[in-house]
Amino acid sequence: MLILAKTALAMMLGFIFAIITGIIAIPLLKKINFRQHVSQVIGERHLKKEGTPTMGGIIFIIPVLLTLFLLYLRGSIELNHNLIILLFVFLAYAFLGFIDDWLKVKYHNNQGLRISTKFLIQMVIALIFFYIFMKNGGEPVLKISSLNLILPMGWTFGLFILFLLVGTSNAVNITDGLDGLCGGLSMIAFVAFGIITWNTTWMEGYQEVAIFCFVLVGALLGFLLFNSNPAKVFMGDLGSLSLGAAMATVAIITRHELSLALIGGVFVVETLSSMIQIIAIRKFHRKVFKMAPLHHHFEQLGYSETDIVKAFYVVGLILAMAAITYGVWL
């Protein structure tokens, strides 16, 4: 019961702080003119969103930090190496996203940081992650519990960390194209990871990882009050990159890397649709989808933004339930 109460408190504080942060941050973002530039390529439906405040990721990032700080002060959680890694990656990618967003706002385009610069920064983050992970007794192996299989990876585990961080953060970023889509899917994903962590590693010192997940769920729920259609604010790269990186980090720390592909199944499909579209255009000079990523394809088919988001939520929930089944019982 104490665990349930702690989880409920974490979610409630995250939710309340997100609402307060949103009420304060949105007018401030408008005042300093941090507004979204919308490309005409996406379609007329999205042109009305021109000028909507961006960098709204602070609406769930700040509440997560505040809630964890309060829980730490009252002795409910410890600042162990797992939480240090998680917070480091979460904030490092938030800062990377902030720079990306700031450049887009400053130059009134969607270019942001150069790909090479962004990748170099992500390599440094992954290297620090790997160092802290190994220094604190982490095993550089890939565990497949359902098959009772352990694959030694040695130093290549560092490359595996880089691959998951870059892949997941960019997949979540690509999915952030409709009001409420990325935030809602991420909330579902962290509910799944919270349950998996809670049921499989709670007694092994991973309580803080589960608490982080549930705090973020509460904060994302509060964020969605401002981001659901019609959105009053967008999370920006500040939000999407930090969410994706945190998702990958939780999977690595809890040794549920394979569950990540299932929990983030919608993000994976969205990314694959973009990759397929690019390859088809460059190699065969034709499109597979009317527009990529996949959510824009359905928009071009005439489906409403709200209906697409609801359908993606349902798919995300089904995949999350399958992942929980795999992660907890298999």
List the end-to-end C-alpha distance of the chain, in Å, as a whole number: 25
Tokens of 133: 């992970």
**Beta carbons of 146 and 91 less than 8 angstroms apart:** no
CA neighbours within 13 Å on the CB side: how many for 217? 20
Specify which residues 165 forms β-bridges with.
none
Q: Which residue has the tokens 């992970």?
A: 133
Question: 205 by DSSP, 3-state: which?
Answer: coil
Count of structural domains, the chain: 1
- Identity at 276, one-letter amino acid code: I
Q: How far apart are CA 126 and CA 107, in angstroms?
A: 29
DSSP symbol at 202: G
C-alpha–C-alpha distance, residues 127 and 125, integer Å: 5
CB-based contacts of 305, cutoff 8 Å, min separation 6: 45, 178, 179, 229, 299
CA angle 235, 263, 257 (to 5 degrees): 105
Residue 154, phi-psi category: left (phi > 0), alpha (psi -120 to 50), beta (remainder): left
Distance of CA 215 to the CA centre of its chain: 14
What is the per-residue pLDDT for 169? Answer: 96
266 with 319: CB under 8 angstroms? yes
Tokens representing 119 are 């990748």
Closest CA to 281 of 300, 273, 270, 173: 273
Whole-number pLDDT of residue 226? 97
Residue ranges making up the domain that contains 151: 2-329
Query: How far apart are alpha carbons 105 and 227 in whole angstroms?
Result: 19
H-type alpha helices, 228-264: 236-253, 257-263
**Confidence at residue 38, expressed as pLDDT on a 0 to 100 scale:** 62
pLDDT tens over the chain, length 330 residues: 567 788 889 999 999 999 999 999 999 999 888 776 665 455 566 666 677 898 999 999 999 999 999 999 998 888 999 999 999 999 999 999 999 999 988 877 777 788 889 999 999 999 999 999 999 888 888 887 766 778 888 889 999 999 999 999 999 999 998 999 999 999 999 999 999 988 765 556 688 999 999 999 999 999 999 999 899 999 999 999 999 999 999 999 998 898 999 999 999 999 999 999 999 999 988 999 999 899 999 999 999 999 999 999 999 999 999 999 887 765
**Contact 175/316 with Cβ under 8 angstroms?**
no
State the pLDDT at residue 115.
87
